[in-house]
Amino acid sequence: MALKRDFLLKLFLDTVKSDMLHLGYSAPGQPLAWADLPAAQLAYEDRMVGLIPEATSSILEVGCGTGHTTARLQRQGLPVQCLSPDILQKEIIEKKFGRSIVFHNTTFEDLDVDGRYQLILMLESFGYIALERCLEQCRRYLTADGRVLIADIFRQDRNREYKSFHVWDDVVAATRSHGFECRLVEDITGNIVPTLDLAASVYAQFVVPIVDTLYGAAMHSIDKKKLKKLPLKLARALFQKKIDALLADAHQRVPTILSGDYFAQHARYLIVELRPVAEGRPAA
What is the three-class DSSP state of 21?
Answer: coil
**Alpha carbon distance 133, 126 (integer Å):** 11
Q: Is-contact 52 149, C-beta < 8 A? A: yes
Spatial neighbors of 162 by CB under 8 A, at least 6 apart, are 153, 155, 257, 263, 266, 267
How far, in Å, CA of 69 to CA of 75, rounded? 10
Taking only the tens of pLDDT, the chain with its 284 residues reads 444 444 343 334 344 555 677 899 999 999 999 889 999 999 999 999 999 998 999 999 999 988 999 999 999 999 999 999 998 889 999 999 999 999 999 999 999 999 999 999 999 999 999 999 999 999 999 999 999 999 999 999 998 888 889 999 999 999 999 999 998 889 999 999 999 999 888 888 888 788 778 777 776 666 655 545 556 566 666 667 777 777 777 788 888 888 899 999 999 999 999 999 975 455 55
Look up the pTM and report it: 0.83
Q: Could you tell me where the DSSP H helices lie in 167-276?
A: 168-177, 189-202, 208-224, 230-248, 254-258, 260-266
- Distance, in Å, from the CA atom of 17 to the CA atom of 33, rounded to the nearest integer, reads 16
Residues in the chain: 284
What is the crossing angle of helices 168-177 and 131-141, to 10°? 40
